[in-house]
Structure formats: structure tokens, C-alpha cells
């Protein structure tokens, strides 16, 4: 089943996606989704958002997608026996929409083998820290608690290890003496919204390869 679906993923040449149809996977408010929607609308990002998928029916991001005229789908984890079955259901939706690149944006589930195998090096995630520091939940609180003076945001390719894939783009954010989790998160979020569309554009543009764990791009760096 997964193999059949994998074959439906658009073919590529020279690592450039010929068919830049995106899916955005969310679980919550969807401000990064909104940044991607806005970047597509203003042609800063030359792509189509084919579908938005949420594991939570009440995700505000589903409303953002529908307001932008984008198909928005809730896929309930409870309707599937286990994580692999859930991921296969996600792959079915992605295949039905001829998606070429998957963007996780506040998607609060681990990505399993069925999804990784159907989209090798074609799943991006955004994380609110300078990876590899502060993986997992509450990255902004982890940064504050650790006492770092600089944190930030990272867009990376997704692998089977949490918050660990090759890094496409990062942005640094200073930690201020009077920062709270909320104030720090707000400033990081501004950078997230800036770098996520740029990272997607960079991946779609092709001309990159993975060397070891490095994302090596021949294009300009920002
Ligand atoms: C962002 O901070 C993102 O880095 C993290 O989850 C948050 C999602 O926010 N993975 P939003 O739903 O995009 O507003």
C-alpha cells in the first residue's frame, strides 16, 4: 500500500520539484501556516498549498486554511489502530492531492516510517530553538532555564529522530534579561515566519544535496 502511494509522489529531476504542491500538517493555531499562505499569495513562494491536514479537529489553522480557500482535512488519530495506520492515512490524503513536499508547522505528532518512506527528504519541520539545542517540547522554556544568551529558530528536514534532520535554515534570537517564555516565544515566532517560507523556497529550488548530516545548497544563503 505504501509503495503504491509512494509511486504517486511527483517525479523529480536534478532534485528540483517539478510540481511544487505543498501540504502543511498542523495541530494548533497555525501562524506558521499563515506565513506560508501569505508567502504563496504574495508570490514570495512559488508553490501551491494543496491541502492542510490536522490531527486535531479544533486546530485554528484549519480555519485559516479554509479562509484562504485551501482544502483543510482533519484526520483523527482515534480512528486508526496505531501510529503506522494513522501515518498511512495521512499518506493517502497526500497522494490524493499529488503533494510533493510536506511542511510540519506545529504538528504535535512523531512522524513514522510510512510517512518518511513515502516522502524521503521531502518533509520539513520548524522548531523554536537553534538545533541541536533544546529538542522536543517547550524549547523556549528550555532555553530560558538553561540560561543561554542566544536561541532562535530552525527549519530542518525530518528524519526518524526527533528534531534531528539536516538543517536548511536557522535564525538567531537574543535572550533578554527580562524575557519570559511568552516574550521570547513571540520574538522567535517572528523569525520562524520569516525563515520557513524561505526554507521551503530553497528546498523547492533544488540544487542541494545531503552530505553526511549537512544540507548543502549551491544557492545564496540568507
Ligand atoms: C512553533 O513555535 C513551531 O516552531 C513549533 O510549534 C509552534 C507552532 O506555532 N513547532 P503555530 O501553530 O505555527 O502558530
Query: What is the tens place of the pLDDT at every residue in 184-196?
Result: 999 999 999 999 9
Average pLDDT over residues 117-127: 97
Given a cut of 70, is residue 166 above it in pLDDT? yes
210 backbone dihedrals φ, ψ, rounded to 5°? -105, 120
Q: Could you identify the atom of ligand 1 that is nearest to the CA of residue 192? A: 4
Among protein residues, the one with the nearest Cα to ligand 1's atom 2 is: 128
Please say whether the beta carbons of 75 and 92 come within 8 A. Answer: no
Please say whether the beta carbons of 125 and 77 come within 8 A. Answer: no
The pLDDT tens digits of the residues spanning 21-43 come to 999 999 999 999 999 999 999 99
pLDDT band at 19 (very low <50, low <70, confident <90, very high): low
Looking only at the bridges linking them, the beta strands covering 167-174 and 101-104 are unpaired
- Residue from 137, 73, 148 nearest 106 by CA: 137
pLDDT band at 218 (very low <50, low <70, confident <90, very high): confident
* 152 in contact with ligand 1, CB cutoff 6 A: no
CA of 176 to the centre of ligand 1 (A): 21
What's the burial of 102, exposed, middle or buried (CB within 10 Å: 0-12/13-18/19+)?
buried
Positions annotated as catalytic residues are 127
0.85 surpassed by pTM: yes
* 106 in contact with ligand 1, CB cutoff 6 A: yes
CA of 50 to the centre of ligand 1 (A): 20
Q: What are the start-end ranges of the E strands in the chain?
A: 12-13, 16-17, 21-26, 48-54, 72-74, 101-104, 123-127, 150-157, 167-174, 208-211, 214-217
Hey, which residues does 1 pair with through a beta bridge? none
Among protein residues, the one with the nearest Cα to ligand 1's atom 6 is: 106
Report the 10 Å Cβ neighbour count for 90.
24
Amino acid at each position: 500500500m505504501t509503495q503504491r502511494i509512494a509511486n504517486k509522489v511527483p517525479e523529480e529531476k536534478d532534485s528540483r520539484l517539478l510540481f511544487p504542491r505543498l501540504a502543511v500538517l498542523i495541530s494548533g493555531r497555525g501562524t506558521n501556516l499563515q506565513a506560508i499562505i501569505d508567502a504563496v499569495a504574495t508570490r514570495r513562494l512559488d508553490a501551491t498549498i494543496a491541502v492542510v491536514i490536522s490531527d486535531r479537529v479544533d486546530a485554528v489553522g484549519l480555519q485559516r486554511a479554509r479562509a484562504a480557500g485551501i482544502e483543510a482535512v482533519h484526520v483523527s488519530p482515534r480512528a486508526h489502530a496505531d501510529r503506522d495506520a494513522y501515518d498511512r492515512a495521512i499518506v493517502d490524503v497526500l497522494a490524493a492531492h499529488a503533494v510533493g513536499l510536506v511542511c510540519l508547522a506545529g504538528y504535535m505528532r512523531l512522524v513514522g516510517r510510512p510517512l518518511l518512506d513515502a516522502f524521503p527528504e521531502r518533509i520539513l519541520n520548524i522548531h523554536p530553538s537553534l538545533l541541536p539545542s533544546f529538542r522536543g517540547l517547550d524549547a523556549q522554556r528550555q532555553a530560558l532555564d538553561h540560561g543561554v544568551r542566544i536561541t532562535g529558530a530552525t527549519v530542518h528536514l525530518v528524519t526518524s529522530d526527533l528534531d534531528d534532520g539536516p538543517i536548511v535554515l536557522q535564525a538567531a534570537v537574543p535572550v533578554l534579561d527580562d524575557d519570559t517564555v511568552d516574550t521570547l516565544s513571540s520574538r522567535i515566532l517572528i523569525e520562524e515566519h520569516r525563515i520557513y517560507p524561505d526554507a521551503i523556497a530553497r528546498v523547492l529550488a533544488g540544487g542541494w544535496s545531503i552530505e553526511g548530516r549537512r544540507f548543502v545548497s549551491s544557492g545564496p544563503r540568507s
